[in-house]
Amino acid sequence: MEAIIWRVQQYGGWVAGCIGAILAWFAGFDLIEHFIHDQDRLSLTANIYVVVSAAAVVIFTAIRQWSTIRKERYANITPIIHQLIHQIRDLNTFVTLNEPVGGSYADYKRFTGDCKMFFGRILDQLNTIFSSLTSTHCRTSIKLTYGGDPLYVYTLARDQGSRQKCLKMDNKRVETNHDPLTQNLQFAKLFSDSDESWHYICNDLTRAQDFQCTSTTAYAPDYAMRLADGRRRWLARKWPLPYKSTIACVIRQGPIDLCQDVKTEVLGFLTVDSESRGVFEERWDVQIMFAVADALYGPVRAYLDAQNRAPPET
């Protein structure tokens, strides 16, 4: 019943908006008639010239202003990028110098907790960058894999704001092996050597026909069940995920010119998402994500190696 009421309200809003637009369109004819009444051809041509010229100037100024604002935003984030790279450097040093080699399970648990705190600080800085660029509420995370066959995806760390909301759900998803890599189509493609883009970007997930992820069943099981039953999307009350735009870049080591034996290794993904549509610029924003993801490879690799050396819980 609640879903039906929501759909009726949405439909009613569209109907009211269309009626208002039609009435405004008809009213415009009276304005035009008043404007051109008792004018000869020369006066009418002059008026049209003035209106068209003014409209062109307004449109050009608006486009120029929008472009300038975006460039200023990119200029303003440079100090934050410096602080972010600063945090990655410190994390790399911390993992190298503070691993409790030969210590107990409790020692390693404390160590991994401190590392996650560092990762959280880095994601806070990255979240600040994209919130500034997009002027929307964003979330950032680092997602890694575990298991062998099949591989599963889990969230290593989030920015502080989303961590508080999602910690319980993230833990439950790991406990139940909720996120097989093969059922997260976009992530699985990034593991493939045949896909050399190494990133995924979408500015409107609500319309992406190829988008497939297990987060749908985590955030809104009822919505996922409706889709599995073959019902159309309009039966669902609303978009189930807390984000509508996203960028994901791999955290990987690629080939090196002077070390031909180094194999490509993908550890996981660095992600940023927004609750709004059409907010990311692929030309620039993906490069920012790649810069951070590449810098993270070293400390993430060192963290995983230390984690593998930890003694089992007794």
pLDDT value of position 35: 60
Amino acid 38: pLDDT: 63
Q: Say whether pLDDT at 152 is over 70.
A: yes
117 is written with which tokens?
A: 């705190």
Distances (CA, A) of 197 to 182, 187, 231, 257: 18, 12, 34, 19
**Contact (CB, 8 A) for 249 and 286:** yes
Task: State pLDDT tens for residues 82-92.
Answer: 999 999 999 99
Residue 207 has pLDDT above 50, yes or no: yes
Q: Say if 16 falls within a structural domain.
A: no
Res. 15 pLDDT band, cuts 50 70 90: confident
For residue 258, name the pLDDT band (cuts at 50, 70, 90): confident
Q: Average pLDDT over the chain, rounded to whole? A: 84
Greater model confidence, 214 or 66:
214
Length of the chain equals 314
Nearest C-alpha neighbor of 250 from the set 238, 235, 234, 264? 264
Instruction: Average the pLDDT over each of 66-75, 139-148, 154-163, 228-237 and give the range with the smallest value.
Output: 228-237
Average pLDDT over residues 99-121: 94
Mean pLDDT of 22-46: 66
Q: At residue 193, does pLDDT exceed 80? A: no
Give the closest residue to 186 by CA, choosing from 196, 201, 176: 201
Q: Which CATH number characterizes residue 211's domain? A: 3.30.450.40
Is residue 62 a part of any domain in this protein? no
| Residue among 263, 254, 249, 268 at smallest CA distance from 151 | 268
Q: Which residue range forms the structural domain that includes residue 177? A: 87-309
CA nearest to 246, candidates 159, 140, 117: 140
The residue written with tokens 């210590």 in the block is: 103
Can you tell me the mean pLDDT for 61-73?
69
Identify which has the larger pLDDT, 30 or 274.
274
Dump the DSSP string for 157-217: EE-HHHHHHHHHHHHHHHHTT--BGGGSHHHHHHH-TT--S-EEEES-GGG-TT---THHH
Q: Is residue 4 part of a domain?
A: no
Q: Out of 8-17, 29-38, 211-220, 285-294, which region has the weakest mean confidence (pLDDT)?
A: 29-38
Which of 31-45, 92-106, 220-234 shows the lowest mean pLDDT across its residues? 220-234
**Which pLDDT value is given to residue 217?**
84
Q: How confident is the model at residue 4 (pLDDT cuts 50, 70, 90)?
A: low
d(CA 146, CA 168): 19
pLDDT exceeds 50 at position 17:
yes
Q: Is residue 126 part of a domain?
A: yes
Confidence class of residue 227 from pLDDT cuts 50, 70 and 90? low
Please, what's the b/e burial string for 205-240 (b: 16 or more CB within 10 A of its CB; e: otherwise)?
A: beeeeebebbbbbbbbeebbebeeeeeeeeebbebb
pLDDT for 167 beyond 60: yes
| pLDDT tens figures, 234-253 | 444 578 889 999 999 999 98
Number of domains comprising the chain: 1
Residues 6 or more apart whose CB falls under 8 angstroms from that of 200 comprise 186, 187, 189, 190, 246, 247, 248
Q: Per the domain annotation, does 180 fall within a domain?
A: yes
